[in-house]
């Protein structure tokens, strides 16, 4: 199951690994709504998936993909308290929806066997944030969109 805290106590180790699942995920903008608690899965820790927990705030255009996205708020604040993300990057925390569970299970099955179950927080390097506070998957940032 998911660790209780999505924010690592230390700086995550960066270990790039391909992500064949996220860009193929067929999730529309309407799948989420204002107030939803979500996570952007970024890697592993302790034999479980790890990511950043956020709250969906309002619709926002996702410039890197030229598609409808969501403005998210990091409840812990920080340098980038608000970011905009594409819906396919998000997984529900506030409710157990079948689409998000299937995606999370597939990502677990793919990713967890590649890493030992240690307390080291591992960031797979899938995401970056643009100067406009747009969260972008590295494969989306290289697309022709």
Name which of 19-28, 48-57, 133-142 the model is least confident about: 133-142
DSSP 38: E
Confidence (pTM): 0.87
The 3-class SS string of 41-94 reads EEEEECCEEEEEEEEEEEEEEECCCCEEEEEEECCCCCCCCEEEECHHHEEECC
Pairing of strands 90-92, 67-73: unpaired
- What pLDDT sits at residue 11? 74
Question: Mind listing the pLDDT tens digit for each residue in 64-105?
Answer: 999 999 999 998 887 789 999 999 999 999 998 999 999 999
User: Domain segments of the chain: what residues?
Assistant: 20-141
Question: Mind listing the pLDDT tens digit for each residue in 12-35?
Answer: 888 899 999 999 999 999 999 999
Q: Is the pLDDT of residue 135 over 90?
A: yes
Pairing of strands 122-123, 13-14: parallel
- What pLDDT sits at residue 10? 64
Average of per-residue pLDDT across 48-67: 95
Q: What kind and span of H or E run contains 108?
A: helix 98-111
DSSP 139: H
């Amino acid at each position: 199951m998911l660790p209780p805290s999505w924010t690592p106590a230390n700086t995550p180790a960066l270990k790039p690994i391909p992500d064949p699942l996220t860009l193929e995920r067929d999730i529309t903008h309407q799948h989420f709504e204002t107030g939803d608690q979500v996570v952007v899965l970024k890697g592993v820790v302790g034999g479980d998936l790890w990511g950043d927990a956020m709250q969906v705030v309002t619709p926002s255009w996702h410039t890197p993909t030229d598609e409808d996205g969501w403005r998210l708020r990091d409840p812990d604040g920080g340098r980038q308290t608000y970011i905009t993300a594409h819906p396919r990057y998000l997984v529900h925390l506030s409710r157990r929806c079948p689409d998000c569970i299937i995606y999370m299970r597939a990502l677990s099955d793919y990713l967890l066997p590649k890493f030992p179950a240690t307390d080291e927080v591992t960031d797979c390097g899938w995401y970056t944030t643009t100067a406009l506070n747009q969260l972008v998957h590295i494969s989306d940032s290289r697309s022709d969109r």
